[in-house]
Amino acid sequence: MKKVAIQGIKGSFHHQVAHQYFGQEIELVECLTFTEMPQRLKTAQADVAIIAIENTIAGSLLPNYKLIDEHKLHIMGEVFLPIHHQLLVLPGQTIESLTEVHSHPMALQQCEVFFERYPHITLVESKDTAESARLIAENKITNIGAIASSLAGELYGLEVLASNIHTYKNNMTRFFVVQKDWYSNGIIPNKASLKITLSHQVGSLMSVLKLFAANQINLTKIQSLPLPDKPFQYAFFIDVEYNNYELYKNCLKEIENNQNPVKILGEYHKSIKL
């Protein structure tokens, strides 16, 4: 049975992604922080890990790019998950009786407009959406709600007081599936995540973008992060899609020949947005 590390506990969105990607027959390895995951992989406590990387509302999770890079993790796949936030409470509560609502900071941010109608409710940050729901259920806490998934409500016996309270209904999070060792399933990949360190010269980024275009490679994301040992210089984390694997590999060689080191974080098959 595959051991899958997730950020959070049963009922979290990472839990949903684990089942969506690997099916039901898995062993969950719960981590309250992303920083726990590399160690779980290195000590074989987990075979793979699910890591949120960006959200359509909140943007990129920059520390997670750094985590993947610094711990030399390998991306084996991606999952796009529509995020539906529910207001969960012990049965019998009313929204007027609530004094606080607890959840992960990103979930709170994604539901701010809903709570503008209820100024008597204080929003309180927690480490995990599902953990907030579990604590309410286990301790039978009244007058406090949690923002979490429908799955969390079902697992912990909570009632949905208000459904789909997120501001933007096309709210979606992209997750990476990562492991310690390089991954290949024998299928030719059509997407890659790269780290490119550009030479500190005028036009270096433009030259890379032109090479992608010339080799029919579609750049789907570009994200810069500072180089700690080189003030005001940056590495670029880039996602690309391609139909011709040979053209893609030749393009990477051309980029490196221009003194721009390339690190392949993962090659995988692009996911379909549900």
Nearest to 41 by CA among 83, 74, 79, 65: 74
Q: Which phi-psi region, left, alpha or beta, contains residue 217 (left: φ > 0; alpha: ψ -120 to 50)?
A: beta
Report the DSSP pairing between strands 100-103 and 144-148.
parallel
Contact 37, 67 (CB under 8 A): yes
Q: Dihedral of the CA atoms 221, 226, 230, 235 (nearest 10)?
A: -10
Q: Give 9's contacts (C-beta < 8 A, 6+ positions apart).
A: 15, 30, 32, 128, 130, 131, 134
Nearest to 268 by CA among 172, 217, 193, 175: 193
Q: Is 175 among the residues known to form the active site?
A: yes
Q: Is 94 among the residues known to form the active site?
A: no
What single letter denotes the amino acid at residue 140? K
Contact 181, 74 (CB under 8 A): yes
Nearest to 7 by CA among 36, 23, 31, 39: 31
One of 13, 34, 115, 175 is an active-site residue; which one? 175
What single letter denotes the amino acid at residue 137? A
Cα separation, 32 vs 7, whole angstroms:
6
One of 173, 232, 236, 237 is an active-site residue; which one? 173
CB crowding 96-129: b at 16 or more within 10 Å, else e: eebeebbbbebbbbbbeebbeeeeebebeebebb
Phi, psi of 86 (to 5 degrees): -115, 145
Question: Which residues are part of the catalytic machinery?
Answer: 173, 175
